């Protein structure tokens, strides 16, 4: 194995083969591999980069209600400040994965951090809607960093570190959202709302330097690959239409022509896109690989786990912040509600090494099923414990533990089932599946909560009960799907 200094300079290394008489998996043997002098620094750089990207997605939540006033626009128009980030991230993840397979993963990671930095600066300088949308769109597009970083982990870390590295990188998707709410609420309280984006910009600049210094470049681009432009356009149009319909359905009305038109149109375009990708020599997403039972069922489980993550992030903050006079709420401020939610992010990080150990011991399939089942238990706790903030804290911690365990198992299953030339793209599709789950949960839970109002006009206790039941049921369904994933035939050491 070749050692290289922790810099962005291009480095080559032979594919790892292991000791004589010890066969390695075909995918691993086909991957170029290089480690820096301090692979821990490489892992830390990628994890902090993922955290910065995830953090930027949620930082705007505390000022969401004030955006019409701050940007001089209408509430319906400023709602796109949230939506555009979601859409850009959903499209960017599979596209970034394909570009990583073509150009090299470290290069795409660096480009994603640059996009994040530029997007944060544009948003910080914005005083009207259009530049804010541009900045937020760039921040969303930077989400492509996370699946590419996960795919890169196996190539820049020693085998004994790879599992924990992937687990930690996967956890950043949930950790950033958990700590963003109290952090951004505090920033808004002590300073201008523009500082939300200046802080993110400063973090992004530091991350860029860290990545350039600590993450080595591997010659992992695959010669002869081309970029499928029609496939990228079709995927973009189909995903945007579908996710706009889902995300805006609770405000437009699920039976409205706009909602149905977007959802049905998105499904039709995506069906046509699948037919196109099956006829292309080098598709953006290899549908045949994605349709393999291991990959397909893992992605279905990813939708359920993403739903489980987001359902409580929609319901519990509302329950905490509703006035006590409603007979349902717990009367917490925005900052206090964020602080009650923050320990869940810490729990995800704590569970990352636990998940890695479980994957090494019992395999990724049982680990994914256990994680999804723990999420379901967390919702059972939430359904039974709604009388005090500390009770909801218990529920969020249990849910976060399940998410931390499950998130690490999914990319491991995918990476073990696809060729090295499609690793980035395959993990990008898996991340997209999680994003579809979180988007669906946000819309469904918001609809449940707002459709059942009590005598005071606030959401009733039954609406929150139903939200917890739905979140738990979807998580348990994800656990059952995980159990149907075909077991990977283990190679026996000589």
Query: Any idea how long the chain is?
Result: 494
CB atoms within 10 A of CB 99: 26
Residue 132's nearest CA partner among 144, 120, 115 is 120
Expressed in percent and rounded to 5, the helix, strand and coil fractions of the chain are 80, 0, 20
Which three-class secondary structure state does DSSP give residue 217? strand
> Helix 159-190 and helix 145-156: axis angle, to 10°?
150
Residue 319 contacts residue 386 (beta carbons within 8 Å): yes
Q: How many CA atoms lie within 13 A of 45 on its CB side?
A: 29
Cα separation of 330 and 350, whole Å?
Answer: 28
SS3 35: strand
Could you tell me whether strands 3-4 and 35-36 are parallel, antiparallel, or unpaired per DSSP bridges?
parallel
What is the pLDDT at residue 34? Answer: 56
CA dist 414 and 291 (Å) reads 12
CA separation for the pair 414, 418 (Å, rounded) = 6
Distance CA 126, CA 71 (A): 8
- In the chain the first and final C-alpha atoms are separated, in Å, by 21
Instruction: State how far the Cα of 479 lies from the Cα of 456, in Å rounded to an integer.
Output: 38
35 has which bridge partners? Answer: 3
pTM score? 0.80
- What is the DSSP track for 4-29? E-SSSSEE--PPP--STT----HHHH
Separation between Cα atoms, residue 232 and residue 254, nearest integer Å = 28
- Our CA dihedral for 433, 434, 437, 438, rounded to 10 degrees, sits at -140
Kindly give the confidence (pLDDT) of every residue in the chain, 494 residues in length, as a single tens digit, with 9 standing for 90 and above: 444 434 333 333 333 333 333 333 333 444 555 555 577 888 888 989 988 888 888 788 777 778 888 888 887 788 888 888 888 888 888 888 888 888 888 889 999 999 999 999 999 998 888 999 999 999 989 988 888 888 888 788 887 777 778 877 877 776 777 777 788 878 877 778 888 899 999 999 999 999 998 888 776 566 666 788 888 899 889 988 988 888 888 778 888 898 899 999 999 999 999 998 888 888 888 888 888 899 999 999 999 999 998 888 888 888 888 888 777 778 888 788 888 888 888 888 888 888 888 988 898 999 999 999 999 999 998 888 878 889 899 999 999 999 989 988 888 888 888 877 677 778 888 888 888 888 888 888 888 888 777 777 778 888 888 999 999 999 999 999 999 998 765 433 33
Two tokens, residue 167:
């687990």
Neighbours of 192 (CB within 10 A): 10
Helical axes 334-362 vs 389-417, angle rounded to 10°: 40
């Amino acid at each position: 194995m070749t050692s290289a200094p922790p810099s962005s300079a291009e480095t080559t290394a032979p594919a790892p083969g292991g000791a004589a008489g010890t066969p390695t998996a075909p995918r691993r043997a086909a991957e170029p591999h290089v480690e820096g002098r301090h692979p821990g620094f490489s892992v830390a750089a990628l994890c902090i980069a993922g955290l910065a990207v995830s953090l930027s997605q949620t930082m705007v939540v505390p000022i969401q209600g004030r955006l019409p006033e701050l940007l001089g626009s209408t509430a319906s128009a400023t709602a796109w400040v949230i939506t555009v980030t979601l859409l850009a991230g959903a499209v960017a993840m599979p596209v970034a994965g394909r570009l990583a397979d073509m150009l090299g993963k470290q290069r795409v990671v660096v480009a994603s951090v640059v996009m994040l930095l530029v997007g944060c600066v544009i948003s910080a300088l914005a005083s009207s809607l259009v530049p804010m949308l541009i900045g937020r769109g760039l921040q969303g597009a930077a989400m492509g960093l996370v699946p590419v970083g996960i795919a890169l982990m196996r190539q820049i870390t020693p085998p004994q570190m790879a599992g924990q590295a992937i687990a930690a990188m996967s956890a950043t998707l949930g950790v950033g959202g958990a700590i963003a709410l109290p952090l951004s609420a505090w920033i808004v309280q002590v300073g201008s709302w523009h500082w939300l984006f200046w802080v993110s910009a400063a973090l992004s600049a530091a991350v860029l330097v860290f990545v350039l210094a600590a993450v080595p470049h591997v010659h992992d681009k695959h010669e002869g690959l081309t970029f499928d432009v029609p496939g990228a356009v079709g995927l973009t149009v189909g995903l945007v239409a579908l996710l706009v319909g889902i995300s805006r359905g609770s405000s437009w009305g699920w039976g409205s022509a706009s909602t149905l038109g977007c959802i049905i149109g998105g499904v039709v375009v995506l069906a046509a896109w699948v037919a196109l990708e099956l006829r292309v020599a080098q598709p953006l997403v290899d549908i045949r690989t994605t349709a393999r039972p291991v990959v397909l069922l893992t992605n279905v489980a990813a939708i359920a786990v993403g739903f489980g993550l987001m359902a409580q992030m929609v319901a519990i903050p509302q329950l905490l912040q509703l006035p006590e006079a409603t007979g349902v709420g717990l009367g917490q401020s925005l900052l206090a509600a964020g602080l009650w939610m923050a320990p869940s992010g810490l729990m995800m990080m704590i569970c990352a090494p636990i998940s890695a150990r479980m994957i090494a011991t019992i395999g990724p399939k049982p680990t994914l099923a256990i994680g999804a089942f723990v999420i379901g238990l967390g919702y059972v706790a939430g359904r039974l414990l709604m009388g005090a903030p500390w009770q909801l804290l218990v529920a969020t911690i249990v849910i976060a533990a399940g998410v931390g365990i499950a998130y690490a198992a999914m990319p491991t299953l995918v990476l073990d089932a696809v060729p090295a030339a499609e690793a980035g793209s395959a993990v990008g599709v898996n991340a997209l599946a999680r994003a579809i789950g979180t988007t669906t949960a946000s819309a469904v839970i918001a609809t449940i909560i707002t459709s059942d109002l009590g005598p005071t006009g606030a959401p009733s206790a039954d609406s929150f009960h139903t939200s917890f039941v739905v979140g738990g049921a979807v998580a348990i369904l994800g656990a059952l799907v995980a159990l149907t994933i075909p077991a990977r035939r283990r190679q026996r050491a000589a």
